[in-house]
Structures are given as structure tokens and as C-alpha cells.
A and B are shown apart, each in its own frame.
Chain A
């Protein structure tokens, strides 16, 4: 991991978000969140349902704006920048395999859309000869034989194939930050394993700064150089690079009990 100490790529400062404020459904989704990521960091995020993991991802991507606090990417305050402008910096893969691709368009057309993420879209052809070759070599990395199905409609692919394609599309323009929001949760175990393997490979190849939400504790321990645990809208535990390699699931459970003074809610989701 080519981590550069002392430089901050992503900074969340005092982020607060309350949903349905002033109604009986009021919910504090994020409570004073502070997080700093150095270039090359790969942070895994765990926490029970409703801990605020996805809300935090949406704050970074711009799908939601915080009530207070600021989001700073590469020294630039992007708190008020709309999602479509912020996505120049951010690649994203959603939990739902259907969410990251356009089903009625072909594989090559989907890749062309991802390819023009950083350029102003114009009246050039989306799929040129040169790009096609690039798409083919990129798809070969997935080892799913998609490189020979460039003209197949994405809606015809399986969930695992679509998620692999989404992952490739999110990463191949080398975004400053990659957000993975439980992107293996909706897949069967063997597919999930494949996507996990691909994630590791693509993140390492591109040396991408990554935030990954997961329900699977083992996955959170296996991947990345840092780990954070969230609960009730707060970051309650941060495991840094030096401690992460020796981390185990029981360690995490004990830590949680120490901090919260209660047994970790051993729902299926949290233990994975």
C-alpha cells in the first residue's frame, strides 16, 4: 500500500445529519463524524443496521448534504457540490447489482459512459475503435469472458457479472476515492468471493483510496489497512494500520463491549 503519511485526501469534519427533524420519526443519522483518509488508504466500515454507514457514504458522494460540517476532498471543500459534479472524484458501487449499470444498454456502451466520467461529454462517438480495445483489455481482468460479449445488453447478465462490471466501471478512470457500499451483500457466497477478490485486485492495481461498508466482519478484517466501527451515528472505534493485521472477530466484540458497556448485538448482519 503506497500510503503517504501526512497528506489528507478525504476529510470529514463535524458531520451531522438528522432525518425527519421535528417529527416523531426524528432520527440522528450522523452525530459529529470526523474522519481523515490519506491517499492509498483502504478503510473498511462495520456497524449494525442503522449505524449511519450508508448515510456517511451518501454524504461523501453528494447524494445527501450534511446539516452541519464539511466534506473536503483533496483540499477542496465539496460540501455543497451536487452529486454529479462530485462524481468526477468519486467512483461508487452500490449494494444492488442493478443500480450501477444501465440494463437496456450494451456492455461497451456502459463502459463508454464510465469512460467519459472525467471529460465533458460531447458529440464524439461513445464507442470508438481505440476505446473498444481498451474496454476489451479492461474486461479481461475480470476473467468472466465479458470481453467477448461487448454487444450484449447488460440486463442479460447475472447479478454477479453486473456487479463485477459495476466495479470495473467505478474504478477504471482511477477516481480519487472509491466508495463500496455493501457491494457483495446481495450476491451468493461464491459470487461474493469473486467480487471480493476483484475488489482487492482493482484497488491494489489502481492504488485507490477506498471506503468499503460491509456486513461481513471477516471481510472487513481481511481487506484494507484500516477499520472503523460505527454505532448510532458515531464512529466508536478506529483500528489503524499498525494494529489491523492481527485483528480478529473476538477482538472486535470485546472492544465493542468495552466501549458501549453492553454486549454486541449479535444479529446476523453484524457477525456476517
Chain B
């Protein structure tokens, strides 16, 4: 159990980067961007292809980020210059990316143009490289003997290096996002999502800001995809299906639990939401009568509940408030009438 939860925390921290990207479009730009399902795979495919060809995994990951940025910008251009509705722009780009991703993965093969997946079992990844340095520090042994002997768990994770590495990366990205959203450009992007007419009257080009925002968002999504490919040691053309809903679930769960008072708090909520989602996922998989393939259904149900429950709660509160006011008023009237009667 411990190892399973540990693994889901590791993955959750990596998916948090994707969730931050989804937050940037859905919440900040108010643009429901469905490119994510495609750009997540684009990141994974680009990184896996380059690693398979023998490039340095750090360089491969950087190229994945660039590829995601370009994909996002394309969606932005479809919407702003092509005047296509936001949802449709994202869907078009997502479907286009499916073919493009197969081509990207095909670049790693000598005798094929397209490839549906790339295994990285024996390749060097960011994680294996980090492990080379981390393994020599002896921290893993110390931590695991503590877990086995002091806490009494049977099994312990094979390494603590991965979780530490992804945690550092995600926290850095969270802080960069916080900083960026408070810069002049960041403020303009937020205002674009909030009130386009207003920001245009303050000489900001909303079209460029939307393109830039979508680019950054999908760069983060592709980054997350590149890390997941290296973490799970394979890239697959279908690994992005439903990614947007997972991202949205993370944003909604996080916001519901931690609130959205400030930017700092909201991005923290999104990261925590992604980790919590993975833990729910791990627990759900332990239920006997559920199959791995049911997870998409469960994800959809989580998002639906997270969207509907707050409305129901609000309505009930409103009703209770009204009923209370009404009974107070009736009470006052009765007192007044009673007074008259006596007089």
C-alpha cells in the first residue's frame, strides 16, 4: 500500500505541471483548451523520440517543451486569426496532433514513417541520470531503514530521488507561474480572461496575449508529458486520452479544498489537487470490482460532482437563508398583531 501511494504521489507531482497548464487556460484565460490531450502526447513523443535516438534527456525534455509551446500557439492562432470558436480550435488541434505525434515517434524508427509507441526500457532518462548522482548519497538506505524498522511498513520505495527531483521541479514551476502572473504581461493575460474590452482599451493586443497564454499552457502540458514518458519508460500515442479532464479534475478538486484567495494559494491548490487526484485514483484501483479501464468514467464522475455539488450547496444555503428570513418576518408580524389585539 505504501509503495502504491508513494508512486501515485510521484506521478501526481508530475501531472501537477500539466494541471498548472490547464489552470492557465481554463481559469486565467477563460479559454477551454482541449489541445491538452494532444500536446501531452506531443511532449512525451518528442522526448521519447530524441532519447531513443541517443540525445541527452535534458535536451530532449527542453525540445518537448518547445513542441508543446508551438502546438498551443497554433490553437491560439486558429482561434484569434481564424476566428474559430475556442472549443473547436482545441479539438481541431488535438486531432491534428494525433497524426503529428505518430510522425514524431516515427522519426526514431529506421524502417517506418509512423510509430504508435516508443519503449525506453534501457534508455537513459532524466530520472536514471539523477539516480546516478543520488544513489551515491546513501539517503535512500537511511530513509528506507527508518520506514521498515521504525514505522513498520513491509515494503519501501526503491528510491526517494525521483520524488525529490519532481517536487523541486514542480515547486520551481509553481513559483515561476506566481511571479509571471504578476508581471505586466501576466496582468494583461489575466485581464484578457477577465474583461477583454477593458484590456483592449488599455492598449493590449488580446490576440497575441491569447496565443502566448495558450503557448505557455501547452508548453507546461508537454513538459509534464515528457516527464511521464521518462518516468514510466514509454511513450504511447493514446497516453493523452482524457488528459484535459484529469487536468480539470485536479484544478477543481484543489480549488474546492484550498480556495482561490490569492494567485499563490490557487497555484498551490492546483498542485495539491493533482496529487490528491492521483491518490484517489490509486485507492479506486484497489477496489476489487473496478477495472483500470473504469478510471476514465470515475474521473468524469469526479469532475461532474465537483461542478454540481457546489451549486446544490449554494442553492440549499440560499433556500435556508430565505426560509429563516421569512420566519423572522412572520414572527415580527405576529408580535405586532398581538400588540394591537391587546390594545
Q: Which A residues have a C-beta under 8 Å from some C-beta of B?
A: 61, 82-88, 90-92, 94, 98-105, 109-110, 112-114, 116-119, 121-127, 169-170
Contacts and interface: CB of A to CB of B under 8 A. Distances in A.
Nearest to A85: B203
Interface stretch (B37-45, B139-147, B183-191): B183-191
> Which 10 A-B pairs give the minimum distances between C-beta atoms?
A102-B194, A121-B184, A87-B203, A126-B187, A102-B191, A102-B195, A92-B201, A123-B183, A117-B202, A84-B205
Given A84-B206, A85-B203, A123 B198 contact: no
Nearest to B27: A104
Contacts of A116: 184, 187-188, 202
Interface in B174-223: 180, 182-188, 190-191, 194-195, 197-206
B81 to A, nearest CB: 13
A112 B187 contact: yes
B175 to A, nearest CB: 14
A49 to B, nearest CB: 21
B213 to A, nearest CB: 13
A92 B194 CA distance: 18
A121 B197 contact: no
Contacts of B180: 123
Given A83-B200, A92-B201, A105-B190, A126 B206 contact: no
Nearest to B185: A121
A105 B203 contact: no
B222 to A, nearest CB: 22
A169 B199 CA distance: 11
A100 B194 CA distance: 11
B198 to A, nearest CB: 6
28 contacts: A82-B205, A83-B200, A83-B201, A85-B205, A87-B200, A87-B201, A88-B203, A99-B197, A100-B201, A102-B195, A109-B182, A109-B190, A110-B191, A113-B188, A113-B191, A113-B202, A114-B202, A116-B187, A116-B188, A118-B203, A121-B188, A123-B180, A123-B184, A124-B183, A126-B182, A126-B183, A126-B184, A169-B202
Contacts of B201: 61, 83, 87, 90-92, 100, 170
Contacts of A85: 203, 205
A109 B187 contact: yes
A112 B181 CA distance: 13
Contacts of B204: 84, 113, 121
A73 B127 CA distance: 60
A122 B194 contact: no
B198 A125 contact: no
Interface in B252-306: none
Contacts of B200: 83-84, 87
A100 B182 CA distance: 20
Contacts of A99: 195, 197-198
A90 B201 CA distance: 8
Contact of A122 (B185, B195, B198, B203): B185
A123 B191 CA distance: 16
Interface in B159-180: 180
Nearest to B260: A104
A101 B203 contact: no
Contacts of A92: 201
Most buried by B among A87, A113, A116: A113
A196 to B, nearest CB: 21
A256 B194 CA distance: 43
A124 B206 CA distance: 19
A116 B183 CA distance: 11
A126 B199 CA distance: 14
A82 B198 CA distance: 15
B206 A113 contact: no
A84 B201 CA distance: 6
